[in-house]
Structure 1
């Protein structure tokens, strides 16, 4: 299974990356165990303050000497301190008995540049970007410090734009089967695997990492046979006993029997994401705030639903691979199954 090209670059034993899933789903201990096994662990920086991110990095470093990566939600926009919630969100809060205010506050999040500085200071050897791309100065600064940059794309056009500008060391190709947010940066439609693999003709030295619909060893081997250099796995790791996903979330995932039970929705966060069909995912809005504004507008609903075991009003992100998972294994057993059958 080992592809020397990618493993040498990432300093891992296996060509597998644990997907960076924001929202407190994976603990530092979880990520460190992934790294110790020989898979690249990922720390998500999304929604974290700089202090919280540094604490996560330090915690992982205290438990492993193996390399890991940090994922960045790249967004150079400025946002207000408060926003008005959509009328439909307010009505839903009222129906749940949790309405307090017509507006909500947005936290002050660190800039991409500040995160890069922190990552360099802690000598993190790899980063991946989601929703955007680094500015040239940020990219060059991190490269000068010896880091490797992975860029998430959904289409050939996105990948070609990044590679022609020489702004990526690796491409994470997230296909339409992947769970969670659509991670590209220009809202292009998903391309199929064969289209992405044509990048190898013009960029033979750039590793291509497949993400989406991969949960077992057979899926990994198929991706490698197709010509990808490695894979990124999210839902499979989420559905282990050690993940911090709620029991309600895990049981909802175990209950999936058909891909038709999944949908793409923008109603929860303001950006397209794939998850289980429920009332919140199907919420129709007359005017949709952009990401991350809608994420904070629906936060009270999601927090209430999580605290009261109400799956219809949670963000239950999932890839299509969840349909084939029928149990919740121990993390160690799951990782062993990925590389040993």
Structure 2
């Protein structure tokens, strides 16, 4: 195994075994995705929150910037209940934040999440090179439909059991998401706490359990982490926090500043913002709602009801109310262009690999 060539790079048509994580919510702009692709990595559009029309637009804008392969990621919908009692209880807490921001409680959302069926059809119609998914398992029929159109399909696993399931339903590759990873957890079989396995412990167990390529994710920020993941059998790495502070990232300025100022201990896994466990930098919102997390509605209900607070906080540079998603090694991020980051990572990997 060399530092760059692997089944992942060969299948995806990329130069470096580096995948920019599909961070939803506006972070993965077409400019970021294209810059990563042009530098020889795989850029990913985080399309989980986008309307079908916006999915189509994001793909078109990315294609206008690059002819190289890139990925589109969607969230697999899970059953949920919009329990009125839990919603009212949650809004009782959220109204205090709204008052501080000068907001009134919004009307009940018309829908709590975009229509997955229509999102998926937009992806199919666009004919993207790579499709990845998280929060669940795509059904085998849709996987086969994508593959028949020439699309590589990548699933997300946080345990060996999930990885085996994904291989059984026919995915081409698996992202092994370690507990250190920032943003939402991808656990879909068993309790969320069961999926909190460290990257360096998870990757070799998944590699041993499946025959398809494994991509390591979580806490990897430089060539040292990349080389370690490769030694454990991963054939590429997926990195999110490393790209958060890039020039082309759509993360809010306050989010970028918080990431660049982070240390090794400031993150927490919380349900406060979305109703689904996610790792982010601790702030007043997380600390205030922490004792009441068990009362909050599930995803995507809580996510919809906190949208007004998060959007206003982002526009006003109020990080204490923002979902500052980041991994445990976020403080190693740098402010630079995405292309320069990919080049630096590739060189760093090569340097550490030759010294092993």
TM-score (norm 2): 0.88
Q: CA deviation at 1:195?
A: 4.5
Q: 1:225 aligns with which of 203, 226, 231?
A: 231
Mean Cα deviation higher: 114-123 or 5-14: 114-123
Per-residue deviation, residues 161-210 of structure 1 (Å, max 9, x unmatched): 222x2331111011011111112222332234344423434533x11100
Q: CA deviation at 1:304?
A: 1.8
Alpha-carbon RMSD across the aligned residues, in angstroms, is 2.1
Who is 1:131 aligned against? 135
Matched, 1:302 2:310: yes
CA 1:254–1:195 in structure 2 vs 1: closer, same or farther (change >3 Å)? closer
Who is 1:179 aligned against? 182
Correspondence list, 1:122-271, <5 A: 122-163=126-167, 165-186=168-189, 187=192, 188-192=194-198, 193-204=200-211, 206-257=212-263, 259-271=264-276
Asked if structure 2 preserves the Cα contact closer than 8 Å seen for 1:129 and 1:151, the reply is yes
Partners of 1:203 and 1:156 lie apart in 2 by 9
Q: Larger helix proportion, structure 1 or 2?
A: 2
Mean Cα deviation higher: 52-61 or 119-128: 119-128
Who is 2:354 aligned against? none
SS of residue paired to 1:274: strand
Partners of 1:141 and 1:113 lie apart in 2 by 14
Who is 1:58 aligned against? 60
Partners of 2:297 and 2:154 lie apart in 1 by 28
Aligned residues: 336
Asked if structure 2 preserves the Cα contact closer than 8 Å seen for 1:155 and 1:196, the reply is no
Matched, 1:21 2:27: no
Partners of 1:159 and 1:300 lie apart in 2 by 36
Q: CA deviation at 1:109?
A: 4.7
SS of residue paired to 2:145: helix
TM-score (norm 1): 0.91
Asked if structure 2 preserves the Cα contact closer than 8 Å seen for 1:104 and 1:296, the reply is no
Unmatched tracts of structure 2, length 5 or more: 349-356
Mean Cα deviation higher: 231-240 or 302-311: 302-311
CA 1:112–1:330 in structure 2 vs 1: closer, same or farther (change >3 Å)? same
CA 1:140–1:76 in structure 2 vs 1: closer, same or farther (change >3 Å)? farther
Partners of 1:182 and 1:293 lie apart in 2 by 17
Asked if structure 1 preserves the Cα contact closer than 8 Å seen for 2:18 and 2:342, the reply is no
Asked if structure 2 preserves the Cα contact closer than 8 Å seen for 1:25 and 1:243, the reply is yes
Partners of 2:224 and 2:44 lie apart in 1 by 23
Partners of 2:165 and 2:184 lie apart in 1 by 21
Q: CA deviation at 1:287?
A: 1.6
